[in-house]
Amino acid sequence: MSTIYEPTMEKENVIPHNEDTEQSARSIFTHETGQVLVTLGTLFKHIPPFNESIDQSTGDTLISIGRKLKATK
């Protein structure tokens, strides 16, 4: 009695490397980072424990950078 082995074709689950996917992920990350910076800048400017110890220009700078990042596509 002999056994015959047949090769099987199995599909590999591979995520294709695509520029659109990479650009989309980068765009989402940039937008979210911008949103975080705007939020931190607003927090530093308007919340009493922070605005007493952190210079107002720091908050303004974070908001400015955050808005630029959010506008980047």
pLDDT of 2 reads 59
* pLDDT of 7 above 70: no
Stated pTM of the model: 0.67
Query: Cα(28)–Cα(1) distance, rounded to whole angstroms?
Result: 61
Beta strands, E only, the chain: none
pLDDT in tens, 17-70: 666 667 788 999 999 999 999 999 999 999 988 888 888 899 999 999 999 999
The residue with greater pLDDT, 7 or 64, is 64
pLDDT of 29 reads 93
* pLDDT of 1 above 60: no
